Amino acid sequence: MGDVNSRGEILVHAVFSNAAYERAVIVSTSGEPIGITIPNGHVWANSINERSHVAGCTQAAGVSHPFIWAEGKLTDLGSIGPRYGEKFSCGVSISDEDVVVGDSSAPTIRGSTHFVYANGTMFDLDAISGIELDYVVRINAKGQILARDSFGYVVLLKPR
C-alpha cells in the first residue's frame, strides 16, 4: 500500500533483499528516503498526513499493533482487543489531527471490530457508531470516516 500527501511526500512499503524485515519508507520532496523501522519486526504503513505523520502497524513476535510515526518517533497505539483476544490490529488512515482509524482481528460475534484512536484513547468504532462494519477506508480533515458496513453499503460516519 502507498499514500501521498499534498506536499508530494510519498509513503511506500519496502522489502530489501539484504533485510530480514519489511519496512516503510517516506520519500521526501528532496528525494531523501526516511525509513520507518523497529528492531526485530515488520513495519507496514498505510497513510501519511499533511504534517508527515504516518499510520500503519508493526508486527513483532507474532503480535501486530497500530502505530503513529511522527518526527522520527514511532508510538504504539496499543490494542482495542485485549478483552476480545485480538491477534492483529492496524492503522488504516490518519487525519491531519493525528486521529487514526483502523481494523482489528478481535474476534467478536461479527468476526472483527474496528477502532478510532484520538487523544491517547482507542475506541471501538463499531460500538460507538452502532453499525457492524466490514472495514474502514479513510478519515478526512473533518473527522468523517468512510467505511463499508457488513451488508456491503458504503457509510460515512460523522463526528458529533
Structure confidence by residue, pLDDT tens digits, 122-159: 998 988 899 989 889 999 999 999 999 989 999 999 98
How many helices, marked H, and strands, marked E, lie in the chain? 1, 15
Averaged pLDDT, 32-57: 93
53 pLDDT tier (thresholds 50, 70, 90): very high
Residues 6+ apart with CB under 8 A from 107: 84, 85, 86
Secondary structure E strands in 28-127: 33-36, 42-48, 54-60, 63-70, 73-76, 89-94, 100-104, 113-118, 121-124
Residue 128's SS3 state is helix
State pTM to two decimals: 0.89
3 pLDDT tier (thresholds 50, 70, 90): very high
β-strands 10-14, 73-76: how paired?
unpaired
DSSP H or E run through 125: helix 125-129
Instruction: Output the CATH code of domain 3-157.
Output: 2.120.10.30
Contact 46, 12 (CB under 8 A): no
Question: What is the number of residues in the chain?
Answer: 160
Averaged pLDDT, 60-81: 88
Place of cell 515488520: 42
Compute the radius of gyration of the chain from its Cα atoms. 15
Which amino acid appears at position 10 of this protein?
I
